[in-house]
Amino acid sequence: MTYTTARPKLSALEKTYFPALLGGLGITFRHFLRILTGQRKVTMQYPEEKWDSSLPPHYRGAPALVTDEFGRERCVACQLCEFICPPRAITIKPGEIPEGDRWRKVEKFPKEFEIDMIRCIYCGMCEEVCPEQAIFLTKDYAITGLTRKDMVNDKKKLYEMGGVMTGLVNKWNEKK
């Protein structure tokens, strides 16, 4: 079943589109006056001004790795973040802790840990799945590089971005 709607009757002036044109120009002129008098600011001057102060607390930026307060890696190379990552941006190559080491019970550490920032979709699933709270999303949104290789963050760069996180780490817990 179709419904037919009647078109409104337009006057001769409305058929020329001048009222709509003048209305649009009026809005543009009002915005121009507000900007000219300083009542309203439209454009952010990016390198000098940044959104850092107005980012919401739940903002998800670039992922980074963190260490504990003693400078030890929190990551146990369980590869859960690699498996859960939808675009497959995370690559981990685990390494074995040598025999006779005090922390041999841990079994693994990340020999290589890379995140391809071009592929990363900042979903936060890696942060949620990590059992040791070793990966976090920072508030960093200005991620740039000149080549594709520059956009692949290796383990060293990820630890530089992440910093230190305090709290219980199951990996280094003597009782486990």
> Which of 24, 134, 17 minimizes the C-alpha distance to 81?
134
The answer to whether residues 34 and 94 belong to one domain is no
**89 and 164 in one domain?**
yes
Q: Which residues of the chain have pLDDT under 50?
A: none
CB 97 within 8 A of CB 109: yes
Percent of the chain residues past pLDDT 70, beyond the cut: 91
Of 5, 22, 42, the residue at which a domain comes to its end is 42
Residue 33 sits in the same domain as residue 58: no
Residue 94 lies in a domain: yes
Q: How many domains does the chain have?
A: 2
Three-state DSSP at 36 gives helix
- Do 85 and 125 meet the contact criterion of CB atoms below 8 Å apart? yes
Eight-state DSSP code of residue 103? T
**What is the domain extent for residue 25?**
13-42
Position 73 scores a pLDDT of 85
Decide if 132 contacts 81 (C-beta within 8 A).
no
Residues 37 and 58 occupy one common structural domain: no
pLDDT for position 102 = 73
Query: Which of 149, 123, 150, 148 lies closest to 60 in space, CA to CA?
Result: 123
| Dist. CA 114–CA 154, nearest whole Å | 4
Q: Are 124 and 137 in contact (CB under 8 A)?
A: yes
| Helix H or strand E encompassing 109 | strand 108-116
User: Is the residue at 48 inside a domain?
Assistant: no
Q: Is there a single domain that holds both residue 19 and residue 60? A: no
